């Protein structure tokens, strides 16, 4: 009896553990069953929603869920019709942009109409708005960095469908002209003549406002909720990519990154200097870092940018205003004769000269990326070139509502960075300042 009594506590513990284990198993299977049931119901409802929208290339998760049905319904109702939407209109040079309700006509043959969900403001937009662009035509809708969703396509468009996520291209890719077929450049010339006149390839515009024709800009015109572009001025992207990020790929990021890797062909362990630490300059630095450059020097008159720029690969910085002699002289002394590669991303002819003269003689390469005002000329001693130097052509800090787009330009001119603007409560970008506008 004593033996049995001594085992009772152990038996009691074992029984309790067994009961507890049974409860755990029951809870586990119940949770599993209800989670599977909930998932099944969710999948059925989701599939029913997807099939009811009759969309194939559109990926719902890329937009805020509560706007999906509204957007798709609206898109289906606008095909082949004139769309009224908001746009920032440049009525004349050197005047602020005006937020207007405009009319956007349906796309014609080889054209695509896009719902712009994000765009960035580039200094080239400001360059034209300020009346410095000899090809600037007014009134127009500016903007050439953006991303969006195809609303509808015109006749003979084979590569795009409604719902595709896309980025407009200010340099088209026809894949037929001698420039497209050459490995030396991608500067397609097929629609250059009409694009420079502010119209689409058929010689007409798709924008109207109060009975007046509005011209296109660089074949893109992204400062509008809807725009129309030639189908060769468009590239399809992964629908899971964030449109508020990839909008910069239309110009700033790809221009700077490509200047380092494709134009200059920066080599490992080389030394580089970059004038201007805006979007393009930061992208150049990232390209130089990717190529394996050992030293990347940033030159800018706004020292506030230096700390942020470190994240893009810069190793040191100089403010030319802090020295009483030309910055090129300082750089030559610092680098034992000059740099392997220099990049001018400001658009200032004095900076262009400084960049060239900072190159190491015998092999230095200087790439001009910035756009200088019309009529400005570069002057340097020919000796700089005949001694072996080569001269070649060519992310968000503020958030504003769309109706404050002019304030975005002011921030950009003040030396600040990224501006972002959005339709459908998304984000559009204007050279590093964030701006948004909601649905109407």
Per-residue pLDDT of the chain (440 residues; tens, 9 = 90+): 455 555 566 666 666 666 666 766 666 666 655 555 554 444 444 344 333 333 333 444 444 444 555 666 666 689 999 999 999 999 999 999 999 999 999 999 999 999 998 888 888 898 899 998 888 999 999 999 999 999 999 999 999 999 999 999 999 999 999 999 998 888 899 999 999 999 999 999 999 999 999 999 999 999 999 999 999 999 999 999 988 888 888 888 888 999 999 999 999 999 999 999 988 999 999 999 999 999 999 999 999 999 999 999 999 999 999 999 999 999 999 999 999 999 999 988 899 999 999 999 989 999 998 876 666 666 555 545 445 556 554 444 444 556 666 776 666 656 544 444 444 333 333 334 333 333 33
Is it true that the peptide bond before 397 is cis, omega within 30 degrees of 0?
no
DSSP secondary structure code for residue 425 in this structure? T
**142 near 217, Cβ under 8 Å?**
yes
* pTM, full prediction: 0.72
Residue 438, Cβ neighbours under 10 Å: how many? Answer: 11
Q: What residues are paired with 435 via a beta bridge?
A: 400, 428
The Cβ-side half-sphere exposure at 309, using a 13 Å CA radius, reads 29
pLDDT of residue 29: 62
**330 near 302, Cβ under 8 Å?**
no
Sheet harboring 207-209: ordered strands across?
Answer: 140-141, 83-90, 98-104, 207-209, 212-214
| Strand pairing report for 365-368 and 390-392 | parallel
DSSP secondary structure code for residue 75 in this structure? H
Nearest to 151 by CA among 72, 215, 219: 72
What backbone torsions phi and psi does residue 268 show, to the nearest 5 degrees? -60, 145
Listed in sequence order, the DSSP H helices in 335-371 are 349-357
pLDDT of residue 4: 56
pLDDT of residue 36: 52
Phi-psi region of 134 (alpha: psi -120 to 50; beta: other; left: phi over 0): alpha
pLDDT of residue 21: 66
Nearest to 314 by CA among 271, 357, 375, 261: 271
Give the position of tokens 């200059």. Answer: 264
- 3-state SS, residue 69: helix
What backbone torsions phi and psi does residue 275 show, to the nearest 5 degrees? -95, 120
CA distance 138 to 129: 9
**298 near 317, Cβ under 8 Å?**
yes
CA distance 435 to 407: 10
pLDDT of residue 57: 38
| CA distances in angstroms from 250 to 214, 281, 288, listed in the order given | 22, 15, 20
Q: What residues are paired with 224 via a beta bridge?
A: 87
**233 near 168, Cβ under 8 Å?**
yes
pLDDT of residue 343: 96
pLDDT of residue 252: 83
Q: At 55, list the tokens.
A: 């969309």
CA distance 374 to 394: 16
Residue 80, Cβ neighbours under 10 Å: how many? Answer: 9
Name all domains of the chain by residue range, CATH numbers in brackets. 67-250 (3.90.180.10), 255-392 (3.40.50.720)
């Amino acid at each position: 009896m004593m033996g049995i009594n001594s085992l009772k506590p152990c038996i009691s513990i074992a029984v309790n553990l067994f009961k507890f284990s049974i409860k755990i198993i029951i809870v586990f299977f119940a949770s599993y069953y209800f989670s599977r049931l909930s998932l099944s119901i969710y999948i059925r409802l989701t599939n029913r929603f997807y099939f009811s929208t009759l969309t194939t290339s559109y990926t719902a998760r890329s937009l805020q869920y509560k706007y999906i049905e509204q957007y798709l319904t609206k898109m289906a109702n606008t095909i082949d019709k004139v769309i009224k939407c908001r746009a920032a209109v440049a009525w004349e040079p050197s005047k602020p942009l005006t937020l207007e309700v405009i009319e956007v006509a349906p796309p014609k043959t080889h054209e695509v109409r896009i719902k712009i969900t994000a765009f960035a403001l580039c200094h080239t937009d400001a360059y034209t708005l300020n009346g410095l662009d000899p090809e600037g035509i007014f009134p127009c809708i500016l903007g050439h960095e953006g991303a969006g969703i195809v609303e509808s396509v015109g006749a003979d468009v084979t590569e795009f469908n409604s719902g595709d996520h896309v980025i407009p291209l200010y340099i088209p890719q026809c894949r037929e002209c001698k420039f497209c077929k050459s490995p030396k450049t991608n500067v397609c010339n097929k629609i250059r003549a009409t694009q420079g006149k502010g119209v689409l390839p058929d010689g007409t515009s798709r924008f109207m406002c109060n009975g007046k024709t509005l011209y296109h800009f660089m074949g893109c015109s992204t400062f509008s909720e809807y725009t129309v572009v030639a189908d060769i001025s468009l590239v399809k992207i992964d629908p899971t990519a964030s449109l508020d990020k990839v909008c910069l790929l239309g110009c700033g990021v790809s221009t700077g990154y490509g200047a380092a890797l494709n134009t200059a062909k920066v080599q490992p362990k080389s030394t580089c200097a970059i004038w201007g630490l805006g979007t393009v300059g930061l992208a150049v630095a990232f390209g130089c870092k990717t190529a394996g450059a050992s030293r990347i020097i940033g030159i800018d008159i706004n020292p506030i940018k230096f700390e942020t720029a470190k994240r893009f690969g810069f190793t040191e910085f100089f403010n030319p205003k802090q020295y009483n002699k030309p910055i090129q002289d300082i750089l030559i002394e610092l680098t034992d004769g000059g740099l392997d590669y220099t990049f001018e991303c400001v658009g200032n002819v004095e900076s262009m000269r400084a960049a060239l003269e900072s190159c190491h003689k015998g092999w230095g390469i200087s790439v001009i990326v910035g756009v200088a005002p019309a009529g400005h000329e570069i002057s340097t001693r020919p000796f700089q070139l005949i001694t072996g130097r080569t001269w070649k052509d060519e992310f968000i800090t503020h958030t504003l509502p769309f109706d404050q787009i002019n304030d975005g330009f002011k921030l950009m001119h003040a030396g600040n960075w990224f501006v972002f603007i959005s339709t459908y409560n998304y984000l559009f970008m204007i050279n590093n300042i964030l701006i948004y506008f909601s649905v109407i």
